[in-house]
């Protein structure tokens, strides 16, 4: 694909396909290893490259570009925007099973379980020779209030068909067993999931970033089940991100431009400071790192382009108020980026 865009810089679908590859690499242990993403910096660069390639693809949007954009929006807790993009993708290419697989995920996180189930079944009908991944999606669609026994049956079938997906199967099994208070089975499944990753999850929040439910009551149930299964921490140890707390574009600009913020880097543990002038020019300090760049707002999303941290690639984030945050803990607000990274910050003097 990289050769394709080198030969034809206007090949929009190739840009979209590369964007999908890099985003999946960030999220998949096997692909991380295959592409040599061996540290946090390389993972971040892959995520930024994915988003950069998608912007190129969206200049002449194909069905794949719209589908990919739906996943970006979902990762950033922009559910309505995600749903609109996957509808566009399916309207352009209704027989693509991956689009229906992605569609299943979005309404599930929005509390539209019936639509989630139907979309997963549509993916299986369209690709009956490779059903394992879609069976996992269908099994998830029944959580947390549906037929959990049917979900377990589907998961076991998926694992039998494709043992390489055992980690994906196991994390959903651990949640189901946790919901059912079957603690020993939950712990056993969680151990399988943890061992399937390049590194075990560091905390509950790292796992919950993959479950961007719009209903916080559902998020709480999933968090409780994961902790019962062995996820690190307490059920409350994750950020309660809600659309109600999303800052609109003008609010983001008023909060940041012409001001200074501070927080703790989730990747290095170092304190950072970001300082903007009123035009969006930006200076950053994080430990020994000194960096500079520029920022701008598109819709409700802030983009930051930094010389060292992002290698000149744009880095987009949604901004939410943290209802449990305090200025003293430097966590009054939270950024969420397309790779599901969560960064807390507060205004600084």
Domain assignment of residue 101, yes or no: no
Mean pLDDT by 10 residues, the chain (349 residues): 48 73 68 58 75 85 93 94 97 96 96 96 95 96 96 97 95 98 98 90 92 96 98 95 95 98 91 97 96 96 94 94 93 94 93
Domain assignment of residue 159, yes or no: no
Q: Is the bond preceding 144 in cis, omega lying within 30 degrees of 0?
A: yes
Domain assignment of residue 143, yes or no: no
Can you tell me the distance from the alpha carbon of 43 to that of 47, in angstroms, rounded to the nearest whole number? 6
Residue 135: CB atoms within 10 A of its CB come to 25
Closest CA to 49 of 8, 5, 77, 18: 18
Closest CA to 104 of 95, 93, 112, 96: 112
Closest CA to 218 of 183, 184, 179, 169: 179
330: left (phi over 0), alpha (psi -120 to 50) or beta: left
pLDDT for the residue numbered 10: 52
pLDDT for the residue numbered 5: 45
| 3-state SS string for 189-256 | HHHHHHHHCCCCCCCHHHHHCCCCCCCHHHHHHHHHHHHHHCCCCCCCCCCCCCHHHECCHHHHHHHH
Number of domains in the chain: 1
Chain-centre distance for alpha carbon 241: 13
pTM across the whole model: 0.90
> Structural domain of residue 279, as residue ranges?
243-347
Q: Which residues pair with 47 in a beta bridge?
A: none
Closest CA to 120 of 111, 106, 110, 129: 106
344: its two tokens: 């807390």
Q: For residue 290, what is the domain's CATH number?
A: 2.40.128.640
Domain assignment of residue 148, yes or no: no
85: its two tokens: 């993009």
Q: For residue 170, how many C-alpha atoms fall within 13 Å in the half-sphere facing its CB?
A: 20
Domain assignment of residue 335, yes or no: yes
Q: Which residues pair with 272 in a beta bridge?
A: 263, 286
Domain assignment of residue 56, yes or no: no
pLDDT for the residue numbered 28: 63
Residue 63: CB atoms within 10 A of its CB come to 19
């Amino acid at each position: 694909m990289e050769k394709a865009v080198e030969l034809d810089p206007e090949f929009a679908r190739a840009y979209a396909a590369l964007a999908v590859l890099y985003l999946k690499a960030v999220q998949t242990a096997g692909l991380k290893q295959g592409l040599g993403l061996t540290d946090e910096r390389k993972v971040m660069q892959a995520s930024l490259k994915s988003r950069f390639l998608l912007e190129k693809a969206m200049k002449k949007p194909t069905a794949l570009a719209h589908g990919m954009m739906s996943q970006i929006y979902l990762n950033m807790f922009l559910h309505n925007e995600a749903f609109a993009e996957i509808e566009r993708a399916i309207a352009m290419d209704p027989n693509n099973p991956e689009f229906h697989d992605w569609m299943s995920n979005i309404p599930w996180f929005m509390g539209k379980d019936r639509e989630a189930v139907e979309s997963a079944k549509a993916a299986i009908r369209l690709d009956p020779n490779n059903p394992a991944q879609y069976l996992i999606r269908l099994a998830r669609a029944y959580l947390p209030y549906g037929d959990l026994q049917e979900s377990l049956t589907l998961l076991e079938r998926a694992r039998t068909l494709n043992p390489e997906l055992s980690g994906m199967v196991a994390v959903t099994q651990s949640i189901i067993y946790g919901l059912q208070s079957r603690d020993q089975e939950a712990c056993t499944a969680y151990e399988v999931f943890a061992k399937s990753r390049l590194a075990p999850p560091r905390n509950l929040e790292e796992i919950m970033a993959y479950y961007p439910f719009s209903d916080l009551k559902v998020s709480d149930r999933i968090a409780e089940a994961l902790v019962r299964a062995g996820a690190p921490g307490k059920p409350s140890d994750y950020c309660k991100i809600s659309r109600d707390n999303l800052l609109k574009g003008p609010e983001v600009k008023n909060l940041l431009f012409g001001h200074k913020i501070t927080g703790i880097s989730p990747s290095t543990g170092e304190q950072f400071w970001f300082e903007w002038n009123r035009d969006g020019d930006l200076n950053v300090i994080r430990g020994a790192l000194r960096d500079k760049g520029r920022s701008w707002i598109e819709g409700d999303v802030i983009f930051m382009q930094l010389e060292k941290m992002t290698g000149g690639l744009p880095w987009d984030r949604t901004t939410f108020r943290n209802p449990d945050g305090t200025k003293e803990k430097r966590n009054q607000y939270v950024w969420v980026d397309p790779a599901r990274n969560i960064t807390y910050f507060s205004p600084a003097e």
